[in-house]
């Protein structure tokens, strides 16, 4: 088959690294990058480092309101689909790129395959929730990372098109976690950062935690008081704010870095004392690595990680974060709800069966 894959944001590149490798063994893949993330350290580095094929199209669409971004993508992706006439469209996750591609394809009657389907935060206050729901419902095949996601789709009447295959990010994680690590981390001043023997790893970029100085100051104030420095890989949107807070509050136990590459992120995760994040992907990686995580948000994203203090929700509140960090986790080595690290192969197998029977 000819399959158009649309990606646009960092977590999608990480998923596509595993997906494209497998898809290209038996199909022709046309890769479209919407341009949603465009800096070298938010985009190109993943293509280089993870061996993701060069995109056939780069639409150069980023910024603006949700409506502007999604609308511009919808128009540009429709044009690609009309030109390429693919047999199917493949999308990952829940970004505006995912939604725009799914809508463009379904209106052209091109079957949509959605990887990481069935996640629900249970509230439309989360801007990506509408992207998830819409994409799952217009898709022909929904690939779920966990049984919980599969059951959520079954409750929405989508069981017949849904398959639990495991988390495709786990495929990428296992691959990179086993490779040797040569850190290549730059501070916000562009100078190389030395990784301390003991450290906490933090990412924080969601709107809910970075719309003003207040929530981020609370989070950083918790990190400042810990027994080892924190490496905070700062999303480009928040560079200025993070620098300002550190200087205003005289915080000196926090190392601000530019976004790191995937190998660095995986190895920082594996070697950290604990992790504080508002990232959906990083909390799963913490879980895979057996490193305890505190997730700063009001909503659970991956309920299967929320066991035995392995991942705990915290408010953007210094005391709440410190209290959660003070707890010990318990790890049951037999508990692995994210599959076996072969999600991409399973996805290809199901696509093969679908193609035979359609
Ligand atoms: N990540 C990375 N470099 C960084 C921060 C995160 O490679 O500086 C990786 C992280 O390991 C995880 C993914 O990016 O695999 C998470 O992406 P992000 O936080 O942008 O999105 P979300 O998970 O919230 O959808």
Question: What are the pLDDT digits (tens) for 125-174?
Answer: 888 999 999 999 999 999 999 999 999 999 999 999 999 999 999 999 99
**CB atoms < 10 A from the CB of 61, how many?**
25
Ligand 1 neighbourhood includes 280 CB (under 6 angstroms): yes
Looking at ligand 1, which atom is closest to the CA of residue 206? 24
Q: Is the confidence at residue 38, as pLDDT, over 90?
A: no
| pLDDT band of 63, cuts 50, 70, 90 | confident
Question: What are the pLDDT digits (tens) for 284-325?
Answer: 999 999 999 999 999 999 999 999 999 999 999 999 999 999
What beta strand segments (E) does the chain contain? 2-7, 28-33, 57-58, 88-92, 112-117, 141-144, 162-164, 200-203, 230-233, 254-257, 275-277, 293-296, 311-314
What residues contact 52, with CB distance under 8 A and at least 6 apart? 13, 16, 17, 20, 31, 46
CA 279–ligand 1 middle distance (angstroms): 6
Active site residue 205: yes
Averaged pLDDT score across all residues of the chain:
97
Average pLDDT over residues 324-331: 97
Ligand 1 neighbourhood includes 8 CB (under 6 angstroms): no
CA 56–ligand 1 middle distance (angstroms): 24
Ligand 1 neighbourhood includes 233 CB (under 6 angstroms): yes
| pLDDT band of 244, cuts 50, 70, 90 | very high
Looking at ligand 1, which atom is closest to the CA of residue 262? 7
Question: Would you say 185 and 193 are in contact if contact means Cβ atoms under 8 Å apart?
Answer: yes
CA 281–ligand 1 middle distance (angstroms): 6
Average pLDDT over residues 269-287: 98
Ligand 1 neighbourhood includes 282 CB (under 6 angstroms): yes
- Domains of the chain listed by start with CATH number: 2-167+339-357 (3.40.50.2000), 200-326 (3.40.50.2000)
- Residue 129 Cα to chain centre, angstroms: 14
Nearest to 348 by CA among 5, 20, 70: 20
Task: State both tokens at 59.
Answer: 């639409």
CA distance 255 to 234: 10
Ligand 1 neighbourhood includes 19 CB (under 6 angstroms): no
Only one residue has tokens 């093969």, namely 352
Looking at ligand 1, which atom is closest to the CA of residue 234? 8
């Amino acid at each position: 088959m000819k399959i158009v894959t649309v990606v646009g944001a960092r977590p999608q590149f990480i998923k596509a690294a595993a997906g494209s490798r497998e898809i290209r063994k038996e199909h022709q893949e046309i890769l479209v990058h919407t341009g949603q993330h465009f800096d070298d350290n938010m985009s190109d580095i993943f293509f280089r480092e993870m061996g993701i094929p060069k995109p056939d199209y780069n639409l150069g669409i980023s910024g603006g309101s949700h409506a502007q971004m999604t609308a511009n993508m919808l128009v540009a992706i429709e044009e690609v689909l009309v030109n390429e006439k693919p047999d199917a469209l493949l999308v990952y996750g829940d970004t505006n790129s995912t939604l725009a591609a799914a809508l463009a394809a379904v209106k052209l009657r091109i079957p949509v395959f959605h990887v990481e389907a069935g996640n629900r935060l249970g509230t439309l206050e989360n801007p990506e929730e509408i992207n998830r729901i819409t994409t799952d419902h217009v898709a022909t095949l929904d690939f779920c990372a966990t049984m919980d996601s599969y059951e959520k789709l079954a409750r929405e009447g989508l069981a017949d098109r849904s398959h639990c295959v495991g988390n495709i990010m786990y495929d990428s994680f296992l691959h990179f976690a086993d490779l040797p690590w040569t850190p290549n981390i730059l501070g916000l001043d562009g100078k190389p950062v030395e990784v301390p023997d003991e450290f906490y790893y933090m990412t924080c970029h969601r709107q809910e935690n970075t719309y003003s100085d207040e929530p981020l100051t609370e989070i950083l104030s918790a990190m400042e008081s810990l027994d080892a420095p924190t490496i905070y890989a700062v999303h480009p949107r928040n560079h200025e704010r993070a620098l300002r807070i550190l200087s205003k509050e005289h915080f000196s136990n926090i190392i601000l870095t530019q976004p790191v590459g995937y190998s660095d992120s995986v190895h920082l995760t594996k070697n950290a004392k604990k992790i504080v994040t508002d990232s959906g992907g990083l909390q799963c990686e913490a879980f895979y690595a057996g490193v305890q995580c505190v997730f700063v948000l009001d909503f659970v994203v991956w309920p299967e990680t929320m066991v035995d203090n392995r991942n705990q929700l915290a408010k953007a509140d210094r005391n709440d974060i410190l209290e959660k960090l003070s707890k010990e986790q318990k790890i049951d080595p037999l508990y692995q709800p994210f599959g076996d690290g072969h999600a991409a192969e399973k996805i290809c197998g199901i696509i093969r069966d679908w193609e035979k029977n359609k």
